[in-house]
Amino acid sequence: MGVIMTSGSYPPTIFILGTDRDIGKTVTCIGIIEKLLSPECGFSLQDIGYIKPVGQETVTVLDGKGVSIQADKDAVLVTSLLGIPCCGYEKMSPVVWRDGLTAAYIDQAATGDPLKGRDDFLRLIRESYEFVAEGKKIVIVEGTGQPGVGSVAGISNADVINALRGMGVQVFVILVTRGGIGSTIDQLFPYLMALDHLGTQVNGVIVNGVLVDKMDKVRHYLETYYGRVFGALYQHRLQVQSAPKLLGFVPAIPELRLPTMRLIAEHFAKEHDSNLEVIAPSDFESGACHLVRDLKVISLDFGYESFLEPGDAVIVGVNANDVILAMLLLHERLMRKHGAGLSGLILSCKQVGGLAQQIRELVLSGDLPAITLAYDSAEIVQRVHNMTIKIQPYDVRKRELIAQAYRQHIALWPELQCACL
């Protein structure tokens, strides 16, 4: 890729988009920011701006005036987890594509000027970008989860990228896709073609979630294809796109799919029939954030010590006071031996009884996260295994794993480094 000249008005900007939903786009945003924060790149959190121009899934937050608003959940996640200074979520998440907005836009566009709604959205995005970018050395822009999101109103990823470039912003576009060979090429092709047709160039590709034992093979064939084959087949048909630079191959991080006891409790709190009770520790929100590596049901009759490992969460009947006591003692032994104990204790069948007072006091006095539920053990296992696990603002361990992977496996453009000087 040729040298990109600095516009002077705006900081260099990295726009991250994906070939599909749940492709690892938000994780990539976190990883790229962690890469920028590394000694190799030398940025600080105060140097970095973040914006998600068009969002879909929202959470309720307070704006700069203390008023409740809906903001994109990924924008809240990235800023909260990384500690990026928040300049107001109404600016960091300017357009939220709520249910019903598609029909409302079409009705308005069909009876009036179709370009007016688009221009209003783009003006809001441009103004928000300028606000976020003020005083920053670099800005991260997180695109939408699917290629077509926002296209109904002319604010797809390509439209937003073109609008920013039209302002004079030097935008480095990263397209994130899943690890593989044929499947990866198949995923990238329609997106590269569609973006090119709209006059939007992709500058780099990150291949995410590559199986470690397939890493060398995947790297070899994708580098060969985009280095020697893609251009020969398609360059004469392209307007602005050339063979994209492969910025890195990120190995799969299995721990990102693991819940915490806090997330499990938050999940069951939404179930009207769970009868959830959080027992311990008193600081559950901060004390229940260890990853649950496995969920196990045990019986004292068949032995358990060799079956349980640090990081396991154990399901025990709420009336099985002897088993609960055994788990508390095992947790202490694991802590002394490994420096890490069980990740949690889930007490089932709450409706049939309760803890003996002495056992409850022991649970309350310890640091092992413990909850009770109305469901039986089998149903708890099934419900936890069916949970959709997303990274949370308190997942510090997952942040560390993402930082390690992206700092090791991603190489940003030399032109980007030069532009930031």
Q: Within a domain: residue 71?
A: yes
Q: Are 137 and 48 in contact (CB under 8 A)?
A: yes
Question: Both 340 and 319 in a single domain?
Answer: yes
Q: Return the CATH number at 151.
A: 3.40.50.300
Determine the Cα–Cα distance for residues 129 and 263; give it in Å rounded to an integer: 33
Q: Within a domain: residue 175?
A: yes
Sorted by sequence, the CB contacts under 8 Å of residue 29 that are 6+ apart come out as: 16, 50, 74, 78, 140, 142
pLDDT for 305? 77
Question: Both 224 and 265 in a single domain?
Answer: no
Question: Both 306 and 209 in a single domain?
Answer: no
pLDDT for 8? 59
Tokens encoding 366: 């310890």
Determine the Cα–Cα distance for residues 383 and 267; give it in Å rounded to an integer: 9
Question: Both 252 and 263 in a single domain?
Answer: no
- DSSP-assigned states of every residue in 113-159: -HHHHHHHHHHHHHHHHHHHHTT-SEEEEE--SSTTTTGGGT-SHHH
| Strands, sheet with 13-18, edge to edge from the N-terminal-most edge strand | 48-51, 138-142, 13-18, 171-178, 204-210, 245-251
Question: Both 156 and 62 in a single domain?
Answer: yes
Q: Return the CATH number at 283.
A: 3.40.1390.20
Tokens 């179930």 belong to: 271
Q: Are 84 and 45 in contact (CB under 8 A)?
A: yes
Question: In the chain, how many domains are there?
Answer: 2
pLDDT for 417? 60
Q: What is the pLDDT along the chain (421 residues), one digit of tens a residue?
A: 333 334 458 999 999 999 988 889 999 999 999 999 999 899 999 999 999 999 888 888 877 777 888 888 999 999 999 999 888 888 999 998 888 889 999 999 999 888 999 999 999 999 999 999 999 999 999 998 777 888 999 999 999 999 999 999 999 999 999 999 999 999 999 999 999 999 999 999 999 999 999 999 999 999 999 999 999 999 999 999 999 999 999 999 999 999 999 999 999 999 999 999 999 999 999 999 999 999 999 876 667 777 899 999 999 999 889 999 999 999 999 999 999 999 999 999 876 667 889 999 999 999 999 999 999 999 999 999 999 999 999 999 999 999 999 999 999 877 666 555 5
Q: Within a domain: residue 1?
A: no
Q: Within a domain: residue 376?
A: yes
**Start-to-end CA span in the chain (Å):** 19
Q: Within a domain: residue 113?
A: yes
Question: Both 53 and 96 in a single domain?
Answer: yes
| Predicted structure pTM score | 0.90
Question: Both 293 and 197 in a single domain?
Answer: no
Measured in whole angstroms, the distance separating CA 259 from the mean position of its chain's CA atoms is: 14
**Domain membership of residue 351 as a residue range:** 259-388
Q: Within a domain: residue 6?
A: no
Question: Both 288 and 316 in a single domain?
Answer: yes
- b/e burial code for range 298-309 (CB count within 10 A of at least 16 → b): beeeeebeeebe
Determine the Cα–Cα distance for residues 39 and 411; give it in Å rounded to an integer: 14
Give the CA distances from residue 143 to residues 152, 261, 381, in Å, rounded to whole numbers and listed in that order.
16, 31, 35
- Exposed/middle/buried for residue 394 (C-beta within 10 Å: 0-12, 13-18, 19+): middle
Question: Both 236 and 348 in a single domain?
Answer: no
Question: Both 142 and 272 in a single domain?
Answer: no
Q: What are phi and psi of 24, to 5 degrees?
A: 100, 25
pLDDT for 418? 58
Determine the Cα–Cα distance for residues 117 and 7; give it in Å rounded to an integer: 29
Tokens 């029909």 belong to: 103
Find out whether the peptide bond into 281 is cis, omega within 30 degrees of 0.
yes
Question: Both 315 and 353 in a single domain?
Answer: yes
Amino acid code (one letter) for 107: D
> Which run of H or of E encompasses 62?
strand 58-62
Question: Both 44 and 193 in a single domain?
Answer: yes
Q: Within a domain: residue 7?
A: no
Q: Within a domain: residue 8?
A: no
Determine the Cα–Cα distance for residues 182 and 66; give it in Å rounded to an integer: 50
**Among 377, 367, 359, which residue's Cα sits nearest to residue 334?**
367
pLDDT for 122? 96
